[in-house]
Amino acid sequence: MKPSAEHFEKLALEQMDVLYRVACRLTRDPERAGDLLQETYLRALRGREGFDLQAHGIRPWLIRIMHNLQINQAEHESRQPTTVEPESLETSSLAAAGDLLIGRDNLEQMDDRLVHALHELPSDYQVVMLLWAVEEFSYKEIAESLQIPIGTVMSRLHRARRRLADALRTVADSRGMIGE
């Protein structure tokens, strides 16, 4: 079933927050996340003829576009010469720590160990964890969105959880929070 242009635009824009959160995990930088989001919508709205409203709706389709764009962009950047300005270095290190994505007030109320451990995960694992935990995607939806087998979804999720557990245990050990 193909939605009308107006309906398609409405459906697509309703997913903006979900897509922005995914873009933040993929890029680890709020500014680049905004660019990726905009690029995704450009592609999606121009290519709406290729969209068919399926069982899982528009979300996996949009995330698939975003994921492919990010892969292409990463490949393109890996071919470019790297000229890193001092300001960019500063921004990158902050973004890598995830501080730019979390409000200071919220951060203080959260379990900072978990925040740190989550942001230490590779991007691929972060996206799977986000889709599973926050967006409540099923394994099948995650697999369709990222164009990976369901088994890969499960193994990424499993490894992500193991890394989180290890990270939390290490921190707890170092702080003497676990008894002999």
Partner 1 sequence: MFDVMPTDPEESFDDPELKAAVRRVWGGKPTPESVRRRLEASTTGLARDSAMTIRPRYVWAAAALVVIAVGLIALKLNGIVPVGPGPQAAAAAAPLPATLASDLVARHDGCARAADHHMPGVARDDFARIASDLKWRLGLPVMAGPIKEDQWTFAGASICPVGSFKSAHLMFKGPHHQAVSVFSLTGAALPSGVDGRAYEADRSGHPIAGFMHDGSFYCVVGSDPTGSLSLKEVRTFRDELAPQIDIPRPTVASAEH
CA-only gyration radius of the chain, Å: 18
Nearer to partner 1, 38 or 92 (CB): 38
Which C-beta is closer to partner 1: that of 5 or that of 54? Answer: 5
The burial of 23, by beta-carbon neighbours within 10 Å (0-12 exposed, 13-18 middle, 19 or more buried), is given as buried
Of 63 and 130, the one with the shorter C-beta distance to partner 1 is 130
Instruction: Give the binding site for partner 1 (CB under 8 A).
Output: 5-6, 8-9, 12-13, 16-17, 20-21, 24-25, 30, 33-35, 37-39, 41-43, 45-49, 69, 72-73, 76, 79-81, 83, 87, 101-102, 110-111, 114-115, 118, 129-130, 132-134, 138-140, 150-151, 154, 157-158, 161-162, 164-165
The CA-CA-CA angle for residues 76, 81, 87, to 5°, reads 100
Give the residue with the Cβ less far from partner 1, 13 or 96.
Answer: 13
- What φ, ψ does residue 54 adopt, rounded to 5°? -105, -170
Q: Which two tokens stand for residue 40?
A: 């995704």
The least distance separating partner 1 from the CB of residue 4, rounded to whole angstroms, comes to 9
Q: Residue for token digits 């500063």?
A: 90
Structure tokens at 177: 């929070």
Closest approach of Cβ 95 to partner 1, in Å? 15
